Structure 1
Amino acid sequence: MDLALWIATAVLAAVALLGGVTKTFLSKARLDSMEGTWTTVTSAGPVKALGIVELLAVAGLILPPIVGIAPVLVPVTATCWAVLMVGAMVTHGRLGQTRLVALTGTYLAIAVFIAWGRFGPAAFAA
């Protein structure tokens, strides 16, 4: 169980890192030019802020158990990511991006699995 949770955490952290770096460091014009992007319907500020939130999620998923400080932040971060993914699913749904709704739903499921596992059966020792 612990190995499965670490693998899921690594996958989710990689997704958050890619999204965070993309949203934080690419220009708004470049983001808008990508096919199927939602950034065309919002300004640059919220896009950059979301990128920073995603980079913080990477830290919240990986660093606490590695450094041994506040490992409860892992399931808390996963829960926050799940809430974020619900919002992303709504946004993609409103834009008619059904493939992205499904993909985001997968990220939601991974986050729920991590939150469940780290709050419950495979919680980090305090």
Structure 2
Amino acid sequence: MNVVVWIVSGLLAAMFLMSGVMKVPATKASLAGNPRMGWAAPFPIELIKVIGVAEIAGAAGLILPRAFDLATWLVPTAAVGLAVVMIGAIITHARRSELSSVAINAVLLALAVFVAVERF
């Protein structure tokens, strides 16, 4: 089971790292030009950057503590934090009737909960 948790953690970390790296340097204009980021229009750019930083920190928290065997309690904590981010994403996309995004976020939520449960 440990191998499965590592694989899921790695996939989650990759997804959230990519998502966070896209958000942190973003400007309002660059987000407006991206059709997949239409949800961001009503939100202040600072909040979007905070979400991006949280995703990057969560990605690091899924892998690094366990890999270096230091503060391993951070792994399930990071997974819970990413699950909370996904709950917010599901609510945001559901309000905009973006059902494909809701489905993707629901899968990421389930995977984050799986990692949290297995690592606690």
Specify if TM > 0.5.
yes
Bigger CA drift: 23-32 or 82-91? 23-32
The Cα offsets for residues 24-83 of structure 1, whole Å up to 9 and x where unpaired, read as: 023221122111421112121101111111111111111101221110110111111111
Query: What is the TM-score of this pair, normalised by structure 2?
Result: 0.94
Whether the 8 Å CA contact 1:36–1:97 is kept in 2: the answer is no
Q: For structure 1, which runs of at least 5 residues remain unmatched after alignment?
A: 120-126
1:41 paired with 2:42, answer yes
The code of the aligned residue for 1:81 comes to: L
Percent identical among aligned pairs is: 39
Task: Give the RMSD, CA atoms, in angstroms.
Answer: 1.0
1:12 has 2:6 as partner: no
Q: Secondary structure, in 3 states, of the residue corresponding to 1:69?
A: coil
Structure 1 match to 2:24: 24
Counterparts of 1:104-115 in structure 2, within 5 Å, are 104-115=105-116
* Inter-partner Cα distance in structure 2 for 1:32 and 1:12: 26
Tell whether the 8 Å contact from 2:26 to 2:49 is kept in structure 1 after alignment: no
C-alpha distance in 2, partners of 1:80/1:26? 22
Counterpart secondary structure, 1:41: coil
Question: What is the aligned partner in structure 2 of residue 92 from structure 1?
Answer: 93
> Does the CA contact (< 8 Å) of 1:75 and 1:115 recur in 2?
yes
After TM superposition, the structure 1 = structure 2 runs for residues 107-126 of structure 1, keeping only pairs within 5 Å, are: 107-119=108-120
- TM-score, normalised on structure 1? 0.90
